[in-house]
Amino acid sequence: MKKLLRDSQYLRSIRLNREKMHSFSEYPFCLPAVQNLQTLAFHPNVTFLVGENGTGKSTILEAIAVAYGFNPEGGTKNFNFTSCNTHSALHDYLKIVKGVKRPKDGFFLRAESFYNLASNIDELDQEPAEEAKIIDSYGGVSLHEQSHGESFFAVFLHKFRGQGLYILDEPEAALSPSRQMAMLARMHELVEKESQFIIATHSPIIMAYPDAVILQVEEGFKSVGYKETEHYQVMQTFLNNTERMLDILIPEVGDQKGRGRNLTKEESI
């Protein structure tokens, strides 16, 4: 069942407050995507930000999360740890337009600082407290005692409970293709529980979620279809023409008649 556009989304749009701007010459304001940012509207269910490295999608996603009240390094709004203060000031120049309803849950997950989040949870749980341990809401097992992919997926399964706003920065970083497909199913469960996702990703699997909008981040923001994305087209071309693509990318390998031969003992050492 699709949610109503106006009544059920928690974050409707953001707008760059240009009246406060002094210069577009410094980072991240010098990024073309930021310079051309006017108003950015979000889908009530899932919005994907996609684009090449360096376009600023993660920087913009971080600013959205911080402007909404999340910790720059990730977690819920209750986290306030800082291991390395590297986030930009872009959030100070964003105007957030919220929906009528307030989310009962929320999380900012970013791959690059997930280790710091896991460490902070362990540190907090070592302090004396009468309440249940924080890790209990993540499945009960320290995130450091699981593989990177298992700990990521534990957050999706246990911490995300529905009726929430979930902002994810490259969640595929630790997930195998099969786990990315499992994430799609979990996303749908949460969307059905009145959740909203904003996701920066490079994964053609994750961005295949059907009830969503895909915003291509380049000089600005352009809504594109799934099969129009470079991610889908490049992956499709590679999988359908693997040998040919390898010959183009690694021409010296194509010249070797022994492709696929077993390595000698000396070569394998």
Spans of all domains in the chain: 11-114+162-224, 229-256
Give the C-alpha separation, 60 to 15, whole Å. Answer: 11
Give the C-alpha separation, 112 to 269, whole Å. Answer: 34
The conformation of residue 182, written as its DSSP 8-state character, comes to H
Per-residue model confidence as pLDDT tens digits over 31-41: 999 999 999 99
The per-residue DSSP string of 34-45 comes to: HHT-SEEE--SS
Q: Is 19 exposed, middle or buried, given 0-12, 13-18 or 19+ CB atoms closer than 10 A? A: exposed
Give the C-alpha separation, 140 to 133, whole Å. Answer: 8
Question: What pLDDT is attached to residue 262?
Answer: 56
Q: 3-state class of 96 per DSSP?
A: strand
The per-residue DSSP string of 124-169 comes to: HHTS--SSPPGGGGGTSS-GGGS-HHHHHHHIIIII--SSEEEEEE
CATH of domain 11-114+162-224: 3.40.50.300
Give the C-alpha separation, 111 to 149, whole Å. Answer: 11
pLDDT, one tens digit for every residue, the chain (269 residues): 444 444 568 999 999 998 888 888 888 899 999 999 999 999 999 999 999 998 999 999 999 999 999 988 888 888 876 666 666 889 999 999 999 999 999 999 988 777 778 888 888 878 877 678 889 888 989 888 988 889 989 999 999 999 999 999 999 988 999 999 999 999 999 999 999 999 999 999 999 999 899 999 988 899 999 999 999 999 999 999 999 999 999 987 656 644 555 555 555 55
Partners of 165 in beta bridges: 106, 196
Question: Could you give the strand order of the β-sheet that contains 94-98, starting from the edge strand earlier in sequence?
Answer: 39-41, 11-16, 94-98
- What are the angstrom distances between the C-alpha of 16 and each of 26, 63, 223? 16, 11, 19
pTM of the predicted protein model: 0.87
Per-residue model confidence as pLDDT tens digits over 140-173: 898 889 888 899 899 999 999 999 999 999 999 8
H or E stretch at 94: strand 94-98
- What are the angstrom distances between the C-alpha of 209 and each of 149, 181, 187, 198, 224? 20, 10, 9, 12, 13
